[in-house]
């Protein structure tokens, strides 16, 4: 039994090694990302949500041409599943080795991330690009400082079926809420589900409350409310009343509480795509989702877009829009100016056109690439957004994450017939008090 001791030694060694591995895994398992300069060579690690083509291919070709024009710079592409950013970023920003560049949706989540002290302030580094992007860049600013740069923009509005509108005898798209309500009645009379909504996912419900708030509140109040993390202003209560009035017309499809937004032909996008519902309040990405959910090749010709109608007597701007977008942040471990140069490169017309035309990301952040949009409706959205008095970032993104979730849940509960419209304001302020 000579080996007993050896076994003991091996056992202890294994245990110790496992322990060490467990302790050090947080720093060694992530790919090396710090873009430290060593003899002029720079490596940047790029965490993005392009896990599939065509976006992934566009990114890879962008990396290639950027590396060719910037000798000494190497960019490591690390696609990360979209939903995983929520869990990965807190850990990565805690560690000493965060990615150099990562996916950034701006708003309250960005403000929370800044607390880690690891996000690069891009205000002066990218000043010329920021002024070129105009008001679109505002969603990635915190207290007037730029911590992220968008590469695409999204606007929310009504997508509708031209054929179903014609069938119900509707000749022009509604511009005010009474007109929309009248169209809902006409569609119902014609036996068509007026509006599809994906209430299972909750965030589509929030679009309605968000838009009523945008119509009821002045731009100044909207800005103050987001900054103060509160909804305790009379106009938000009015938005709740508007929602109540609108819900009373019962505009949605049967069983909308269980309908997903984008999964399957029975989703809200699928219902519109297959002609089973006439309208959907959704982002500009909806045509891409719809065409994947139907065998109808002509669906893109059959749909049109109009902005959220105005609310008579409301104090807010009738041309303000609700939207958001995707962007990137640099971390302080990344070498500058290489990192900011890459973000600028992604917003250059050449890359933007590819992102829009090949990868269908939505509206280009850089207006110079507008010509790459192919769908007539998308061009309408872009021109509407350019003439918008203000673009309000989706409230669930603009507020800190926990407040945004509380908002989505409260609106969804109201859609499910629970609570009151005032409960939405209460839920927001209650979540904000836990900040």
Partner 1 sequence: MSDLKSPPAAAVKKFIAAAGAPTGPAGFRPWLARVWPTHRRPSRKVIELIVLLTPALALFTFFVLLPICIAAYYGLFNWSGYGTLSDFVGLHNYRLVLDDPVFRESVLHNVIIAVLSLLIQLPLSISLALLLNRRLRGGSLLRMAVFAPYVLSEATTAVLWLLMLQPGGFVDQVFKAVGLGHEIHQWLASTSIVLYTMFVVVTWKYIGFGIILLLAGLQGVPVELREAAAIDGASSWQVTRRITLPLLGPTIRIWIFLSMIGSLQLFDIVWIMTIGGPANASSTMVTYMIENGFRSLEFGYGSAVAVILFIISFVFALLYQRFALRRDTAGALTGAVG
Residue 125, classed as helix, strand or coil, is: coil
**Strand pairing report for 363-364 and 277-283:** unpaired
Task: Identify which range of 17-25, 71-79, 321-329, 382-390 contacts partner 1 by CB under 8 A.
Answer: 17-25
Among 44, 73, 93, 340, binds partner 1 (CB under 8 A): 93
**Strand pairing report for 321-330 and 73-79:** unpaired
Phi, psi of 216 (to 5 degrees): -85, -30
Sign of the CA dihedral with 83 first, then 411, 310, and 268 last? positive
Nearest distance from C-beta of residue 201 to partner 1, angstroms: 7
Q: Which is nearer to partner 1, 63 or 89 (CB)?
A: 89
Mask 215-254, x = binds partner 1 (CB under 8 A)? --------------------------------------xx
Residue 385, classed as helix, strand or coil, is: helix
Q: Which is nearer to partner 1, 75 or 403 (CB)?
A: 403
Quote the CA–CA distance of 289 and 269 in Å, as a whole number: 7
Nearest distance from C-beta of residue 335 to partner 1, angstroms: 23
The pair of three-digit structure tokens given for residue 184, joined into one six-digit string: 């809902």
**Residue 121 touches partner 1, criterion: CB under 8 A:** no
Task: Identify which range of 11-19, 62-70, 183-191, 298-306 contacts partner 1 by CB under 8 A.
Answer: 11-19
Q: Which is nearer to partner 1, 229 or 355 (CB)?
A: 229
**Residue 7 touches partner 1, criterion: CB under 8 A:** yes
**Residue 154 touches partner 1, criterion: CB under 8 A:** no
**Residue 87 touches partner 1, criterion: CB under 8 A:** yes
**Residue 166 touches partner 1, criterion: CB under 8 A:** no
Q: Identify the residue whose tokens are 């640099």.
A: 330
Nearest distance from C-beta of residue 44 to partner 1, angstroms: 22
Q: Which is nearer to partner 1, 207 or 233 (CB)?
A: 207
Among 27, 255, 298, 371, binds partner 1 (CB under 8 A): 255
Q: Which of these, 399, 378, 313, lies nearest to 157 by C-alpha position?
A: 378
Quote the CA–CA distance of 178 and 164 in Å, as a whole number: 19
H/E element, 118 = none
Do residues 403 and 410 lie in contact, with contact meaning Cβ atoms separated by under 8 Å?
no
Quote the CA–CA distance of 185 and 167 in Å, as a whole number: 13
**Residue 383 touches partner 1, criterion: CB under 8 A:** no
**Residue 82 touches partner 1, criterion: CB under 8 A:** no
CA distances from 307 to 286, 345, 370 (A): 14, 32, 19
Nearest distance from C-beta of residue 250 to partner 1, angstroms: 14
The pair of three-digit structure tokens given for residue 307, joined into one six-digit string: 């902005």
**Residue 144 touches partner 1, criterion: CB under 8 A:** no
Among 224, 418, 420, 433, binds partner 1 (CB under 8 A): 418
**Residue 1 touches partner 1, criterion: CB under 8 A:** yes
Contacts of partner 1 in 18-47 (CB under 8 A): 18-19, 22
**Residue 263 touches partner 1, criterion: CB under 8 A:** yes
Among 26, 49, 76, 116, binds partner 1 (CB under 8 A): 116
The b-or-e profile of 296-332 (16+ CB within 10 A means b, else e) is: eeebbebbebbbbbbbeebebbbebbbbbbbbbbbbe
Nearest distance from C-beta of residue 1 to partner 1, angstroms: 4
**Strand pairing report for 149-161 and 303-306:** antiparallel
Among 228, 315, 350, 416, binds partner 1 (CB under 8 A): 416
Interface with partner 1 (CB under 8 A), residue total: 53
Do residues 405 and 388 lie in contact, with contact meaning Cβ atoms separated by under 8 Å?
no
Q: Which of these, 128, 130, 247, lies nearest to 194 by C-alpha position?
A: 247
- ∠ CA 46-51-56, nearest 5°, is 70
List of residues contacting partner 1 (CB under 8 A) = 1-2, 4-5, 7-8, 11-12, 14-15, 18-19, 22, 86-87, 90-91, 93-94, 109, 112-113, 115-116, 199-202, 253-260, 263-264, 266, 400-402, 405-406, 409, 412-413, 415-418, 431, 434
């Amino acid at each position: 039994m000579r080996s007993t001791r050896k076994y003991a030694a091996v056992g202890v060694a294994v245990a110790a090694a496992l322990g060490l591995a467990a302790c050090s895994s947080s720093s060694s398992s992530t790919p090396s990302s710090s873009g430290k300069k060593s003899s002029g060579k720079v490596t940047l690690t790029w965490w993005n949500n392009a896990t599939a083509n065509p976006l992934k291919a566009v990114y890879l070709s962008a990396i290639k041409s950027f590396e060719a024009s910037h000798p000494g710079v190497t960019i490591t592409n690390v696609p990360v599943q979209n939903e995983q950013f929520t869990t990965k970023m807190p850990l990565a920003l805690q560690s000493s080795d965060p990615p150099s560049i990562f996916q950034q949706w701006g708003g309250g989540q960005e403000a929370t991330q800044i607390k880690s002290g690891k996000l690069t302030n891009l205000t002066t580094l990218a000043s010329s690009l920021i002024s070129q992007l105009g008001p679109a860049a505002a969603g990635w600013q915190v207290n007037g400082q730029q911590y992220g740069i968008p590469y695409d923009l999204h606007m929310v509005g009504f997508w509708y079926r031209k054929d179903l509108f014609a069938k119900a005898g509707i000749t022009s798209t509604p511009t005010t809420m009474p007109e929309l309500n009248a169209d809902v009645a006409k569609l119902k009379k014609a036996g068509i589900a007026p509006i599809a909504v994906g209430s299972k996912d909750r965030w589509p419900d929030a679009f309605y409350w968000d838009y009523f708030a945008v119509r009821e509140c002045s731009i100044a109040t909207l800005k103050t409310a987001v900054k103060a993390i509160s909804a305790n202003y009379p106009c938000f209560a009015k938005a709740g009343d508007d929602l109540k009035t609108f819900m009373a017309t019962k505009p949605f499809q049967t069983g909308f509480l269980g309908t997903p937004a984008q999964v399957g032909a029975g989703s809200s996008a699928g219902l519109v795509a297959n002609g089973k519902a006439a309208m959907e309040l959704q982002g500009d990405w909806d045509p891409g989702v719809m065409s994947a959910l139907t065998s109808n090749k002509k669906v893109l010709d059959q749909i049109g877009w109009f902005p959220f109608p105005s609310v008579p007597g409301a104090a807010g701007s009738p041309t303000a829009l609700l939207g958001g977008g995707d962007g990137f942040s640099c971390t302080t471990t990344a070498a500058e100016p290489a990192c900011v140069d890459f973000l600028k490169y992604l917003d250059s017309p050449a890359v933007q056109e590819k992102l829009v035309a090949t990868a269908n990301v939505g509206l280009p952040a850089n207006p110079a690439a507008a010509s790459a949009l192919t769908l007539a409706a998308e061009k309408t959205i872009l021109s509407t957004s350019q003439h918008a008095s203000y673009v309000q970032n989706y409230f669930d993104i603009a507020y800190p994450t926990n407040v945004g979730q509380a908002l989505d849940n409260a609106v969804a509960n109201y859609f499910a017939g629970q609570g009151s419209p005032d409960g939405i304001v209460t839920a927001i302020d209650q979540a904000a008090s836990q900040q």
